[in-house]
């Protein structure tokens, strides 16, 4: 048995940073409209928009509503940056609606809540846990060309920070619009970027502080 070949075949079936993602169609509960409808992963791309996929383990749990409430606080800013925000779990769209209506922490959620009951989307992004049938806490940023440019995965017991998601999306957007530049650690809009090249070698400090 060729284990290296099998591992390579598995990688071909999962999303990879810097590679265009496969298209998927899934059902969503649109919290803004209070309606159910299908959505394709390529839909935002056709509108020249970014996509933020926000996977979480399950509705009616404990850390998850705090994360979605935090994401809801930054939803308007993420939209200003040109992103379609979609939360995803292995629950159905009907459970999403029931949870949204029952949990007070979700009262400001206005983004689409995608259903992945088969785990197909979670498997593709390589965060499906076969022992539980749930997705880990994964955040993915896809650019308007459909290329995966950012990935973050946490285990079940650690929630994420939507402030950092906003910062990363702003950085991804900046370098896409300025391909000769790179964003250093803790970069935020208005701060200095780096221009990789021979003149920068060994002089990063000087470049950031001149």
DSSP 23: P
Q: CA 107, CA 88: separation in Å to the nearest integer?
A: 17
200: DSSP letter: G
What pLDDT shows up at residue 39?
98
Residue pair 145/45 in contact by the 8 Å Cβ criterion: yes
CA 109 distance to own-chain centroid? 16
Which pLDDT score, from 0 to 100, does residue 210 have? 85
**Under a CB-based contact definition with an 8 Å cutoff, are residues 72 and 109 in contact?**
yes
Q: How many C-beta atoms lie closer than 10 Å to residue 49's C-beta?
A: 16
* 3-177 is classed CATH 3.90.1150.10: no
By DSSP bridging, strand 83-89 and strand 50-55 are: parallel
Count Cβ atoms below 10 Å from residue 96 Cβ, excluding itself.
26
Q: How far apart are CA 174 and CA 169, in angstroms?
A: 8
pLDDT tens-digit map of 56-95? 999 999 999 999 999 999 999 999 999 999 999 999 999 9
Residue ranges of the chain whose pLDDT lies below 50: 1, 3-11
Rounded to an integer, what distance in angstroms lies between the CA atom of residue 177 and that of residue 100? 36
By three-state DSSP, how is residue 56 classified? coil
Q: What is the predicted pLDDT for the residue at 12? A: 54
Q: Which residues are catalytic?
A: 64
For residue 8, what are the CA distances in angstroms to 4, 14, 55, 124? 6, 10, 25, 14
Domain boundaries, the chain: 3-177, 182-210
Element (H, E) at 36: strand 35-40
pLDDT at 8 (0 to 100): 40
The DSSP secondary-structure symbol of 22 reads: P
Q: How far apart are CA 24 and CA 39, in angstroms?
A: 8
- pTM strictly above 0.75: yes
């Amino acid at each position: 048995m060729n284990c290296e070949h099998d591992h390579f075949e598995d990688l071909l079936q999962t999303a990879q940073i810097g590679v265009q993602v496969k298209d998927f169609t899934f059902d969503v509960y649109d919290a803004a409209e209070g309606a159910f409808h299908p959505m394709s992963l390529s839909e935002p791309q056709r509108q020249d928009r970014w996509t933020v996929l926000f996977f979480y383990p399950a509705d009616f749990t404990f850390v998850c509503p705090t994360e979605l409430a935090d994401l809801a606080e930054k939803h308007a800013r993420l939209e200003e940056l040109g992103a379609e925000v979609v939360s995803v779990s292995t629950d159905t769209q009907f459970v999403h609606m029931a949870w949204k209506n029952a949990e007070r922490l979700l009262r400001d959620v206005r983004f689409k809540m995608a259903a992945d009951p088969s785990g197909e989307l979670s498997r593709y992004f390589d965060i499906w846990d076969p022992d539980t049938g749930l997705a880990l806490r994964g955040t993915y940023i896809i650019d308007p060309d459909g290329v995966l440019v950012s990935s973050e995965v946490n285990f079940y017991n650690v929630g994420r920070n939507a402030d950092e998601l906003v910062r990363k999306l702003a950085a991804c957007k900046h370098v896409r619009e300025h391909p000769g530049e790179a964003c250093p650690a803790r970069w935020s809009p208005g701060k200095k970027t780096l221009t990789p090249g021979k003149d920068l070698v060994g002089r990063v400090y000087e470049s950031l502080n001149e």
